[in-house]
Amino acid sequence: MGNTTLTRMETTLIRTGLQNHEDVIDFNHADEHGKAILSQLFDAYAETPSQSWYTYQGCWKSEGEFAADLVSETGILDSDWSTYFDYDMWTNDLFISDYTSLDCRKCGEVMIVRYE
């Protein structure tokens, strides 16, 4: 999409999405990648910056990489059972009800967003 689209999206966010002091601070303290993410989430879901940081789960190479990391970080799977675990099915289930993904217009990876 390029910088022109990001600039237009950022302008829209600044004009209509910064609803309170906390939103302004969140936007001003974000780096270039963070501002692009905030703008894209506002464009897609009309989320303000303070809402976005709660639902945004990071940019990942794939949905599968995110799901595998979630299993590892939460410790929901005993290591003895990991060879029998169907990571593809787990990923599919996660993205049916709990998470969604967007292509990040800034870095090109997959942006993961948790449903509220």
- Please tell me the total count of domains within the chain: 1
Domain with 24, as residue range(s), is: 2-114
Q: What is the mean pLDDT of residues 36-63?
A: 80
Quick check: 101 and 111 in contact, CB under 8 A?
yes
> Judging by beta carbons within 10 Å of its beta carbon (0-12, 13-18, 19+), is residue 42 exposed, middle or buried?
buried
pLDDT tier, 1 (very low <50, low <70, confident <90, very high otherwise): very low
Asked if pLDDT for residue 111 goes beyond 70, the answer is yes
Asked if pLDDT for residue 26 goes beyond 80, the answer is no
User: What's the pLDDT score for residue 13?
Assistant: 64
